[in-house]
Amino acid sequence: MDDGPVIRSRLGVVPQEDNLDLELSVAENLYVYGRYHDLPKTVIRKRIDELLDFSQLAEKRDSPVDDLSGGMKRRLTIARSLINQPQLVILDEPTTGLDPQARHVLWDRLRQLKGRGATLIITTHYMDEAEQLCDRLVVMDGGRIVAADSPGGLIRTHSTREVLELFFDPVDHAATAARLGNGGLAGIKRVEVLSERILLYTDDADTTMSILESNDFHPRGTLTRRSTLEDVFLRLTGRKLTD
């Protein structure tokens, strides 16, 4: 798109809380923001059409913002930040409070932005979101960077390929946790004891389970899953709540 000699800010910001103008319609929110950037009216009108299609809000063009769902408001806030076609978009907790369907729609739109060449800087506490959207991650704890890499790189460095979750009867939990915590079983690289389950970090959960059974460990329930960024985050920052 060639807009001629228009001087544009190349930064877009999406705050954690939606700060839309509730007294304006969906399209009017985009129009006013375009004027903040001193864009020509003809350019703004064209971009409103494009952004409403992009955010799947074309049918809500003339609706009051107050009538939108939470997911629609979030998509409108992101669309508004793109009115100036920024090269860099900063998003603070972009999917907080959204239901799963709305989150996945928003993820799809953010991937489209990346595909168009925009750079996204995202702050999030949702590790699945970071794994879905980010090419490079920085894990911070107490204002310090404790690790930085790609999602896959962080998992390979700070976790194992799989996690085997074991559930024992409450009367056996403490004694079993002590036995496992002493180590010595092949294939188990780390043991984490929680109040209601025991996590075994291993590269082959099936083999580990066979070894457990041969050593007279018989959990009442098991769950095998791949390691995630949440495992990495909790290992690096701890499980205790902090403000």
Q: Which CATH architecture has domain 11-134?
A: 3-Layer(aba) Sandwich (3.40)
Beta bridge partners of 132: none
pLDDT of residue 109: 87
pLDDT number for residue 241 = 53
Higher-confidence residue: 176 or 240? 176
pLDDT of res. 31: 97
Residue-level pLDDT at 220: 93
Strands (E), 19-129: 88-92, 119-123
| pLDDT per position as a tens digit, 165-220 | 999 999 889 899 888 877 778 889 999 999 899 999 999 999 999 999 999 999 99
- Alpha-carbon dihedral angle through residues 25, 15, 123, 56, given to the nearest 10 degrees: 10
What does each C-alpha distance from 7 to 39, 40, 66, 116, 149 come to in angstroms?
A: 8, 10, 32, 20, 35
Q: Which CATH class is domain 160-226?
A: alpha beta
163 Ramachandran zone, left/alpha/beta (phi>0; psi -120 to 50): beta
- Residue 126 CB burial class (10 angstroms; 0-12, 13-18, ≥19): middle
Could you tell me the pTM of the whole model?
0.81
Q: Which of 193, 163, 187, 162 is nearest to 175 (CA)?
A: 193
Domain extents for the chain?
11-134, 160-226
Confidence (pLDDT) at 165: 96
Q: Could you check whether 11-134 and 160-226 share the same CATH topology?
A: no
> Is the pLDDT reported for residue 6 higher than 80?
no
Task: Identify the DSSP state of 184.
Answer: -
Is residue 3 predicted with pLDDT exceeding 60?
no
- Tell me the C-alpha distance between 186 and 153, whole Å: 24
What pLDDT score does 5 carry? 41
Whole-angstrom Cα distance, residue 128 to residue 13? 22
Residue with tokens 């075994």, as numbered in its chain: 200
28-50: pLDDT as tens digits: 999 999 999 999 999 999 999 99
Place 11 in a pLDDT band, splitting at 50, 70 and 90: confident
pLDDT band at 150 (very low <50, low <70, confident <90, very high): very high
> Quick one: pLDDT band at residue 9, thresholds 50, 70, 90?
low
Q: Quote the pLDDT of residue 155.
A: 95
Please state the rounded mean pLDDT for residues 142-168.
95
Residue type at position 151 = P
d(CA 87, CA 38): 17
- Give the model confidence (pLDDT) of 66-112 as tens digits: 999 999 999 999 999 999 999 999 999 998 888 888 889 889 989 99
State the pLDDT at residue 8.
46
What confidence tier does 243 reach under pLDDT thresholds 50, 70, 90?
very low
Residue keyed to tokens 């060639």: 2
